[in-house]
Amino acid sequence: MKDIESADKQVQVNNGDLLVFVGLSPANSDALKYSHLFSSLVASSEYFPTTEGQDWFHTYLKTMQTCGWLPIKFKYEKESASSERFAVAQLLVKAVQVGLGFATAGATSAAAALTAIASSAVDTVADNADATALMDRVHSAKEGTSLNMAVCVQHPDGEVLLSVGCVQSEDAPPSTNNYLLFEYTSSQSEMYTGSAALAFHQSLYEQLKDSIIERVADKSKKDVLTMSIVPKKRS
């Protein structure tokens, strides 16, 4: 836990998704960004994430595996609200937390520390007007709700583990609302979450690296928007 707390942290909004890097080298950060974007594009080319969420998530994971991110464990489920409303940000952090539990294999202190980092990252983005405008612009073109978050940590021994969480629904908030702060009425909306833990196999990625970058390059030039955000420090 001490290594996690002292590691360099960064959060990015990439094509409307939240990516959180904890102690990652620049090369491994790029590997995650390219792999995640490529896998998301492949999954979205085959399935609508808002209406075919489970198939979308499975295709995303299958493509990530091809890119060198080997699934450890995953699940996809319908959410049951504990109150009358679904808070999107809470569901997103919860989905990532489940994946972190898979990734840390019972190391509860490490999972808790990374969950706190994920929660702080969501708060950072939600409180940043430029970031929320960026997310709203990307997601306003979608029919329904599809939010993804990836938290990736590199340990001192070089091992790289990734937790991915997604929140999906056929319902969409009004375009004037901050997607991360919006709440759905549980009686009117059905929300689904996907959670997964993956381990990075660098040599597999290196074999396909050039092809992956080439495939996403044209898409990136056209409409993939990325903005780095410095996480705020909690008092």
Instruction: Identify whether the C-beta of residue 178 lies closer than 8 Å to the C-beta of residue 126.
Output: yes
**Per the domain annotation, does 124 fall within a domain?**
yes
**Per the domain annotation, does 209 fall within a domain?**
yes
Q: Which residue has the higher pLDDT, 190 or 53?
A: 53
- Quote the tokens at residue 65: 């595996």
- Give 130-146 pLDDT, tens digit per residue: 887 777 777 766 777 88
- Give 97-126 pLDDT, tens digit per residue: 999 999 988 678 888 989 999 999 998 888
Domain containing residue 18: 2-219
* pTM of the predicted structure, to 2 decimals: 0.86
Q: Which residue has the tokens 């996403």?
A: 216
We report the CATH number of the domain holding residue 170 as 3.40.198
Total of domains in the chain = 1
**Per the domain annotation, does 80 fall within a domain?**
yes
**Per the domain annotation, does 234 fall within a domain?**
no
Distance from C-alpha of 229 to C-alpha of 225, rounded to nearest angstrom: 13
Query: Is the pLDDT at 230 greater than 60, yes or no?
Result: no
**Per the domain annotation, does 232 fall within a domain?**
no
**Per the domain annotation, does 230 fall within a domain?**
no
**Per the domain annotation, does 85 fall within a domain?**
yes
What b/e sequence results for 148-169 when a residue is b if at least 16 CB atoms lie within 10 Å of its CB, and e otherwise? bbbbbbbeeeeebbbbbbbbbb
Confidence of residue 189 (pLDDT cuts 50, 70, 90): confident
Percentage, residues of the chain above pLDDT 70:
84
- Give 121-132 pLDDT, tens digit per residue: 998 888 888 887
